Structure 1
């Protein structure tokens, strides 16, 4: 069963199962501050678990919980609260903390969508030279779960392509697809957080180099 209707939920349709509760509904904006939005997700999660008590739960969290600069963010605190609830109330679960998703459509504020729109519309933006990002092809979520979900019990996994992309690497790949130059200023700001990846994640991406992965993302979604 799939709960949700967004980008992640739609990507799971080919692996939908009566034995697994894929909870892919929730607060998509990491800058959200309205408590009602967080309460809505939490209430829906609890009701979904209750209605599917014999199913394995797969919950989609965020790698941002590892970001020390966001530890006071309502979004991060909310995700950690839900993770704790799942660990204390589910007999069989998998929490997948995912990186910056790249796919067709979805949230216009995602990194790829933001950069594509700025470049396409000739809008100037600022690049933080010290920032790094972990990217994830939306299609890789279902592929990974198809091969790893059943045998992975009561674990929290970090999942993204295990390479920290410089923002200018990403901009360059998008520029090449759009055939337009980005208009941006640079500042020596930004940071990034280190993430420990499980062996299953490293094996999943084995043999794919970082340039190849980024080029494929740009070709598929720009």
Structure 2
């Protein structure tokens, strides 16, 4: 395999820095081509996985009736979530658009499928199977951004409700519910950073040498 050039490295860095969690108020009415969707899924299935287990499954959802049921679950959980914040934060939280379930071109529910047999590298840390699926989602996110397609990860959902709506087998675990679509713009900075919900951490504050 050929070595990558400095230009390749710079492009990858630009994609990483330009990745955004896209909300419903940014999506536009434009479908995603099959070629682009295939590229995003290809990026997902080529993610690293513990023991080469590839424990992921992807449910592509375009049907609006199904998506509206998912959105109902979001609203129910979102009302509960508001109780965790107070003061200025509750005001900001209330104004945030935290999903794009029906505004996006399509949704992808990503599931972890546990293996029926012992998995190399997963015997001591069972959660590495789930981590593998998260790696797949990150790959999809970066590929979507490279294709100038927005992706938003909706986490304010009841997993059991989503599994019921999508008729998912009992042993599967919902890892990510993704909204994908073309957008009017990508913010220069992450939205929550722009709104000063949190400050960006300095790399020197999170890198520890040798031991704590």
Q: TM-score, normalised by structure 2?
A: 0.26
- Higher strand content, 1 or 2: 1
Higher relative contact order (CA 8 A, sep 6+): 2
Q: TM-score, normalised by structure 1?
A: 0.25
